[in-house]
Every structure is written in C-alpha cells, then in structure tokens.
Chains A and B, each alone.
Chain A
Amino acid sequence: MQTRKAVQKMFNLKTIIMDLENIKAQMRKGILEYCILSVLSRNSCYASDIIKELKEARVIVVEGTLYPLLTRQKNAGLLSYRWEESQQGPPRKYYELTPEGQKYLADLDKSWEEIVESVSLIRTRKKPKTSKA
C-alpha cells in the first residue's frame, strides 16, 4: 500500500514539473480555444470556415483537434448551433456565440491584453547594468 502511495506521489511530481513541450502544448490549447471564440464573434460559421481561418493563422496543426473543442464549448453554453441548408449536399451546422459566450470572450480579451502587457513589460525590461554604482 505504501509503495503504491509513493509511486503515486512520484507521478504527481512528474506532472508538476512541466517540460517545454507541455508548456507549449498548454499555450497552444488555450490560444486555440480563444481563437475559435474570436472567429465566431464576427459572424456565425460552419466548421470548415473556422478551420480555414485557423489554418491561415497557423494556430491549428491537425483538423481533428477542433471538433472536440467545439463540442466542449457548446456543452459549456458558450456556443450554440443551427442547421442550415446548403446548395451542395447535406445541411451544415452553423456555430455562433451565445450571449454567455460573448461575455466570456470579452473577459478573455481583457485578460489576453493584460497577459501581453505583463509579458512584454518583463521581456523588454533592460538588464540592470551595474547593481552597485
């Protein structure tokens, strides 16, 4: 029993120490979710339109990543969708922001600006030349 606990602890520790790849992946994921909402804030789109924009902006690598995110955002009440007839083929699913989603996006916009500001402040700060004059 004790060994199992120790092993569990080690695993926890392993997940706490994030390596670079993981940090990058986490950043990408958060940014991707933010970008999806931003794309939809302009007008309602169907999935392939969203994909096109995300690909142009190079925030998405494989398309399959988008669909679980859309469904999760929809389940969280940020998005809703309606079916729309299309000239070629079966009806398409058009996604749009719900009022809640708009509020959420406004919050995200604000925190994004704060993050950018804080990071650029720190990154552009000059190295102090001499600490002892």
Chain B
Amino acid sequence: MELTAPTDIVKRSILAVQEYTLLSVRSLTNIFAHPRYLADTIQQADLIGFGSLPIVVLTGTFTGMVLALNYSPTLERFGQISITGQLVSLSMVRELGPVLTSLMVAGRNASGMASELGSMKVTEQIDAMRALGTDPYKKLITPRVVATVFMLFFLTILSDLVGLVGGYIISYFKLGIDTFQYWNSAYQQLTYNDVITGLVKPIFFGFIIATVGCFYGINTKGGTQGVGRSTTQAVVAASVLILAVDVILTQFLLELR
C-alpha cells in the first residue's frame, strides 16, 4: 500500500474544509435565489420529519425514563425525590432532547442523504442534472438543508415532551411521585434561557446534519464502495460535529444568562 505524504493529507483536509464551507454558503444563499424547489422541500420534510417520528419518540421516551431512574436514588438519599421532574425537564430541554434527537436524525438522514446523492454522483445523475440546466445545489441540497433545519426544530420539541412523559411514567408508577408535583416541578424550574438553549441548538444541528450528509454524498468517488464509505463518513462526521458544536453553543448560551 502506498503511503500518503503528510503535506498531501493537510492539503486534502484544507480543501475539504473549503469545499464544505462553499457548499454550506451556497445552500443558504440559494434560499433567496430562483428557482425555489418548494415541492422538493416539502417532500424532504416529509421524509426527514415524519419518517423520523418513531425513532425520535422512542428515544425521547426512554431517555426521560432512564433519567428519572438514575436521579431517584441520589435524590432519595437527600430527601428531594419531589424534584425529579425538575431534573428530568432541565436535562431533556437543555441538552439531551436536542443532542439525542440530532444524533438519531443524523444516523438516519445524514446517511440517507450521503447514500442517495452518492449513488446519483457515481451513476452520473448529478452531471446529467447539470447538463440539463439544473443546479444540483438548488434542486438537491438547499431543500434538504431547509427541511432538516425546520423539521429538527419540531422533532426536538416533541422529543422534550415525550421525554418528560417518560420521566413521569417512572416517577408516578415506580417512585410514587404525585402527578401535579412532577409536572409542577418540571415546569416551574424551567427558565427562559433553558428553553431558548434547547430551541437554538436544533437549528445548528439540523444544518450540520444536512450539509455534512450532502457534502459527503456529492463528493462521492469510487463506485458502490465509495457510496458505502461516504455514508459511514457522513454519520461519523455529523455526529462528532454535533457534539463539538454543542460544547461551543452551550458555553455561549450560558454566558447569555
């Protein structure tokens, strides 16, 4: 196997960052340019949003349940079992709702986008589209970016809600916490900043999922093996980028408190 020179690796990495940045900028500027593909955007919203509902609902519910279970022994030791709702709601709304929903959607949709666009690339369908006078960035990428950002926002809200319901199920049936007490503590302790934090994150994460998925898809090389490689890389890169951006966003939003 031939070894790659370190300078070549650096050059390729810089080129990839440059191309990703260009793709991201174009996907945004195209929103304001004609033609706009509304039908394609709605179709993608259906595929990404409604298609991801089961996975998001299940993940949210189980996460809420696990949170309640994990917090209960510690809270019980300090006689503070009544604030289980507060801890579940804070964890879900600020952090786990947006991050876990994004990771689930990344696993499902960044891979889907990379494989779909990758297959189109290796079978020359992307070139055919350009040859037919259609900008693939406008037709394929911008609708996916808009649809993912829009739908992830609502999927996160749903995930937060079902997470709280999951926490309630454990609190009521296993820990014996009163319904009013759980929901009151969950609601009362949430601040405006917590809600804003939880709603700003999915906007960034949705953008990352769609742009990373499309970037790996549209730059696929090497036939069907290349499509497989792009799919894996898209999920890995999107997940890592979500977690890295989460740190920066959390720090930034905490400073706004």
Are both chains from one complex? no
* Residue positions of A touching B, CB distance < 8 A: none
